[in-house]
Structure 1
Amino acid sequence: MSLNKKILGVIFANMHEDVVPELTRQRTMGSVMFGGRYRLIDFTLSNMANSGIDEVGVVTKSNYQSLLDHLGSGREWDMSRKNGGLHLLPPFSNLTSGMYRGRLEALYGITDFIRHSDADYVIMSDCDVVTSLDYNKLYDAHVKSGADITAVYAKSYLDLDAAAHTNVFGIDTDGRINNVLINPEISGECNISLNTYIISKPLLMSMITDGAAKGVYSFAKSILQAQCSRYKIMTYKHEGYFSKITSIKSYYDANMALLSTENRKGLFPDNAPVYTKIRDNPPAKFAIGAKVKNSLIADGCIIEGTVENSILFRGAKVAKGAVVKDSIIMQDSIIGKNCSISCVITDKVVNISDQKILTGSANYPIYIGKGAEI
């Protein structure tokens, strides 16, 4: 697929890290592992690649070493190019900018990058939403409506905990935003922002310059909320499958949802593959007597025990006699002999020694930090 106009993609890799501090203590939000072999940024970046966007800037802030290692030159997304391609944009890119507090300040820090792009439009997105989204359709809707900004939203149920980290749109009958609630204390079916926007490059540059002059830093508060009557801010309704990460529980639920065939088909459609860094691991190995039921097992795993309703990332090992249920075992983690693991999230390179029992619940999964030994 290709877009009719030149589009610049901007991905914010560090936004929303406060919702899962356990997972982002040593990495960006975009680097958080998901679904057995992916990182959260893979979904946003793959959406852009599948939509023909061949110039993307990834805005970072801190803890971005693992992100740099994962993205590399962008070859897996076909963005290793002489012109355009993938650009990693750390803080202080602009001599007059510092560590940003919000989206507008982050954009001010990369003004030179945006200015030097020959793009007509800019699509901005975060890494907290896992979905498959065709930006061609977003672009068409934006141009057809004559909007200044078009924001992507989905109609879905929102509970109080998730609402504390979500923006909700008020939308009139023409699809125009007339109100924006930022982290409201509400629940029920709402128009949930998916933190994806398209805007013309000249208008965005004007907003960035004006925001820097006035000392404002929040795009949601200072543009979407405060100036929704000044600008024509239209909406694009996303009808497909999505998961929004707003807490460690929602992260757990989003991973567990992939055990449903229907959800997997919604997230990984045949015409829009999700790309990720390639690791030349051997296929998963299942020993005689191993039992696996309703689980996602990545390449490089070695299973000698029992795994049920779980997701195992690359290189995970489950020893003989161990039982792993309703859990997420991340890369290169080891579950020792005769262990019993239920509703547990282990980060990378966790070593749980023999005969340990760890039991959480679906509402309160146990999290074990990176490199821990138990």
Structure 2
Amino acid sequence: MNLQREMKKTLCILMAGGKGERLYPLTKARAKPSVRFGGIYRIVDFTLSNCLNSDIRRIYVLTQYRSVSLDRHIRLGWSIFNHELGEFIECIPPQQRNVDRWYRGTADSIYQNIHILQRERPERVLILSGDHVYKMNYNDMLAFHLEKKAELTVAGVEVDRKLASAFGIIGSDDEFKIVDWEEKPKDPKPVPGKPDMSFVSMGVYIFNTETLVKGVIADAKNSSSSHDFGKDVVPAMIGRDKVFVHNFKEANNEDGRYWRDIGTLDAYWSANMDLCEKDPPVNLYDPEWLIRTYQEQVPPAKTVSTSSHGSGLLNGTALNSIISGGCIVSGGTVSHSVLSTNVRLEPGSLVEDSVLLDHVTVGARAKIRKAIVDHEAQIPDDFVIGFDLAKDKERFAISPGGVVIVPRGISLG
């Protein structure tokens, strides 16, 4: 089997049009896939890097909600494909060719773009989501799909059962054929022998094109459908078609199973905090599986000592943290935090267990704990965030997990 040849017969469609309502207010001015993550990246970079590293060079990105920043990021950071060799990445907003409406769901977005499949005529379609953080070689999944002679293969992964109600729960037989599917149940079924874990869909699909087209056309005719793959199309195929599950393993790490759906503020914060660990569960420094992005031209980050009135010499320090280019920690302290580009900390300031997006300024002696501070927020001198949640609630949104959300562009002075 020549996987490289088979992958060239596979078209990738990346879903990037969701509102990301549970990630609000970070998605107030941008689509969820274009939210900054891990200092220098956008969330979508992880899925696109998986594609590039898996030698997938024909990619359509389906956009819809507030897509300007996403379109710009892909244009600046991902225009690396050779069109003369048939390679491309293209952003496609709703065309409304066969219906006069926006996308109603993931399946409907494919239905409204059936003309692409008719034009490209791929043998298979790889459907991905633009809001997950993971490292996956899609060639492994394709090999499994071909070996099983499947009509649909779904990528699955074990997650904590407490979190599993947000996903489709998969049951399979000894041959990995899916025999049961329950979408977002209140009481998820555990993995046999692992009562604290559930086996869930990652929202990664390989369809035979003919099967996909039949499925979305039938779904479009169903007036009671929500037009979603996980809720409608896939469950309708169970027991009727050859539907299999591929057990996810991390690229370049046989024992790795790190996959995060960055769908909520708590999940976003937690995944960023994972990167600050001594041995992070997802390795950003693997030269064999680089995560690509677009970076603006900024000077290197630096920490400096500063004299402060009444406090003597204050050393700028950063421990167990990611500090992006353009950041200046001037006599402040950063601990277990992620700083995006061009963040400035003034003397005596403290940032711990927090995510600061680009162009944030933290004033002298200000303190921030367990917070997400959005783009261009200005924190004044002596201001305190995250130490008194009752007081914070008067000014900010607070996630169910107790993360304080400081909105974009706010000036608290």
TM-score, length of structure 1 as denominator length? 0.93
SS in 2 for 1:130: strand
Structure 1 counterpart of 2:41: 38
Question: In the aligned structure 1, how far is the partner of 2:46 from the partner of 2:142?
Answer: 18
Distance 1:372 1:15, change over 3 A: same
> CA RMSD of the aligned region, Å?
2.0
Structure 1 counterpart of 2:216: 208
Is residue 2:368 matched to residue 1:341? yes
Task: Write the deviation string for residues 291-347 of structure 1: whole angstroms up to 9, x where unpaired.
Answer: 111100011111111111110001111111111111100011111111011111011
Query: How many equivalent pairs are there?
Result: 371
The residue type paired with residue 248 of structure 1 is L
Question: In the aligned structure 1, how far is the partner of 2:206 from the partner of 2:284?
Answer: 22
Given the alignment, which residue of 62, 80, 83 partners 1:81? 83
1:124, distance to aligned residue in structure 2 (A): 0.5
Distance 1:336 1:80, change over 3 A: farther
Q: Please tell me whether the aligned partners of residues 167 and 184 of structure 2 are also in contact (alpha carbons under 8 angstroms).
A: yes
Is residue 2:261 matched to residue 1:234? no
Task: Write the deviation string for residues 96-118 of structure 1: whole angstroms up to 9, x where unpaired.
Answer: 25211211111112112222114
Distance 1:137 1:54, change over 3 A: same
Question: In the aligned structure 1, how far is the partner of 2:382 from the partner of 2:3?
Answer: 54
Distance 1:128 1:186, change over 3 A: farther
Given the alignment, which residue of 358, 361, 365 partners 2:403? 365
The residue type paired with residue 4 of structure 2 is L
Given the alignment, which residue of 147, 151, 159 partners 2:150? 147
Is residue 2:297 matched to residue 1:280? yes
The residue type paired with residue 46 of structure 1 is S
Question: In the aligned structure 2, how far is the partner of 1:302 from the partner of 1:17?
Answer: 31
Structure 2 counterpart of 1:20: 23
Q: Which moved further from structure 2: 141-150 or 174-183?
A: 174-183
Q: Please tell me whether the aligned partners of residues 94 and 109 of structure 1 are also in contact (alpha carbons under 8 angstroms).
A: yes
TM-score, length of structure 2 as denominator length? 0.85
Question: In the aligned structure 1, how far is the partner of 2:379 from the partner of 2:76?
Answer: 35
Is residue 2:122 matched to residue 1:114? no
1:263, distance to aligned residue in structure 2 (A): 2.5
Is residue 2:221 matched to residue 1:195? no
Is residue 2:325 matched to residue 1:299? yes
SS in 1 for 2:170: strand
Q: Please tell me whether the aligned partners of residues 166 and 183 of structure 1 are also in contact (alpha carbons under 8 angstroms).
A: yes
Q: Please tell me whether the aligned partners of residues 2 and 52 of structure 1 are also in contact (alpha carbons under 8 angstroms).
A: no
Distance 1:292 1:127, change over 3 A: same
The residue type paired with residue 245 of structure 2 is T
1:267, distance to aligned residue in structure 2 (A): 5.3
Q: Please tell me whether the aligned partners of residues 335 and 352 of structure 1 are also in contact (alpha carbons under 8 angstroms).
A: yes
Question: In the aligned structure 1, how far is the partner of 2:349 from the partner of 2:210?
Answer: 59
1:41, distance to aligned residue in structure 2 (A): 0.6
Question: Percent same amino acid at aligned positions?
Answer: 25
Question: In the aligned structure 2, how far is the partner of 1:99 from the partner of 1:268?
Answer: 39
The residue type paired with residue 279 of structure 1 is E
The residue type paired with residue 369 of structure 2 is S
Q: Please tell me whether the aligned partners of residues 78 and 293 of structure 2 are also in contact (alpha carbons under 8 angstroms).
A: no
1:25, distance to aligned residue in structure 2 (A): 2.0
Structure 2 counterpart of 1:47: 50
Is residue 2:349 matched to residue 1:322? yes
Task: Write the deviation string for residues 71-101 of structure 1: whole angstroms up to 9, x where unpaired.
Answer: 116546x236353311101113524252112
1:210, distance to aligned residue in structure 2 (A): 2.4
Task: Write the deviation string for residues 214-260 of structure 1: whole angstroms up to 9, x where unpaired.
Answer: 34412222221122011111011113322222421111111101112
Question: In the aligned structure 1, how far is the partner of 2:186 from the partner of 2:19?
Answer: 18
The residue type paired with residue 325 of structure 2 is D
Is residue 2:233 matched to residue 1:223? yes
Q: Please tell me whether the aligned partners of residues 97 and 109 of structure 1 are also in contact (alpha carbons under 8 angstroms).
A: no
Q: Which moved further from structure 2: 166-175 or 49-58?
A: 166-175
Question: In the aligned structure 2, how far is the partner of 1:170 from the partner of 1:245?
Answer: 24
The residue type paired with residue 292 of structure 1 is A
Aligned 1:246-265 pairs, distance under 5 A: 246-263=263-280
Distance 1:327 1:263, change over 3 A: same
Structure 1 counterpart of 2:396: none
SS in 2 for 1:180: strand
The residue type paired with residue 198 of structure 2 is C
Distance 1:16 1:96, change over 3 A: closer
SS in 1 for 2:364: coil
Q: Which moved further from structure 2: 350-359 or 87-96?
A: 87-96
1:354, distance to aligned residue in structure 2 (A): 1.1
The residue type paired with residue 247 of structure 1 is T
1:134, distance to aligned residue in structure 2 (A): 0.1
Question: In the aligned structure 2, how far is the partner of 1:213 from the partner of 1:134?
Answer: 35
1:174, distance to aligned residue in structure 2 (A): 1.4
Distance 1:264 1:283, change over 3 A: farther
In structure 1, the gaps of 5 or more residues are none
SS in 1 for 2:318: strand
The structure whose Rg is larger is: 2
Aligned 1:130-169 pairs, distance under 5 A: 130-159=133-162, 162-169=163-170
Q: Please tell me whether the aligned partners of residues 18 and 65 of structure 2 are also in contact (alpha carbons under 8 angstroms).
A: no
Aligned 1:61-80 pairs, distance under 5 A: 61-72=64-75, 75=78, 78-79=80-81
Task: Write the deviation string for residues 168-203 of structure 1: whole angstroms up to 9, x where unpaired.
Answer: 111222111111111111253100211100011222
Q: Please tell me whether the aligned partners of residues 56 and 86 of structure 1 are also in contact (alpha carbons under 8 angstroms).
A: yes
Given the alignment, which residue of 332, 336, 358 partners 1:309? 336
1:127, distance to aligned residue in structure 2 (A): 2.3
The residue type paired with residue 186 of structure 1 is D
Task: Write the deviation string for residues 138-191 of structure 1: whole angstroms up to 9, x where unpaired.
Answer: 1000000111100001112131xx334211111222111111111111253100
